[in-house]
Amino acid sequence: MKNFLFLGLLCIGLLSSCKDDDTPNQNTLPEATQSGKNTGGALVDNNIWVAKIESPDLNPGGNNTKYEFVNNTYQLQIVLRQVNDTSNRIVINISDSNEITSKTYSVTACRYENQSQVFDVGIGNNDGILNITKFDKDNNIISGSFSFTANNINGNNSKVTITEGRFDKKFIN
């Protein structure tokens, strides 16, 4: 009977210590969700890159995804970051005289920054693709996918190719 009681308590202890791990796996891209989970990632030159800073903040250069109407233009900025400063991030900007909606945009303002280099779509004749699959202004949720090729801004002819990008963000306005 003591062994049975001990085994029962051991099982209860083990089961109660189990918990769901909501930490994203850094070896896989985040799921393509549409619920405002503040996730994002992409393949950067075929290497998995996952945003680690998920919560929006109000600091300049922060992890903000913003949607605003400025100078008669609707502007959207999506920021995905890996560290607490601006040295490793993906930034996508679009603007439109019409309201932003769920559709595919050709984008000329995309940037990838790592600790030592900055790559920009505007350097050279590259375009990016931003496919917005959900744009919910009532709940401030934007989700979708992206890809682009960008050149090093220092003119050293190096490029970075971003593919299979995805995001599911809450935005501020």
Highest mean pLDDT among 22-31, 63-72, 158-167: 158-167
Inter-CA distances, 129 with 53, 138, 144, 166, Å: 23, 25, 11, 11
In the chain, the percentage of residues whose pLDDT exceeds 70 is 76
Separation between Cα atoms, residue 91 and residue 110, nearest integer Å: 6
Q: Is 162 exposed, middle or buried (0-12, 13-18, 19+ CB in 10 A)?
A: buried
Q: What is the pLDDT of residues 139-172, one digit of tens each?
A: 999 999 999 999 999 878 899 999 999 999 999 8
Summarize the confidence of residues 64-85 as an average pLDDT. Answer: 88
- Nearest CA to 67 out of 129, 2, 6, 139 is that of 139
pLDDT on residue 30: 94
pLDDT on residue 10: 42
pLDDT on residue 20: 44
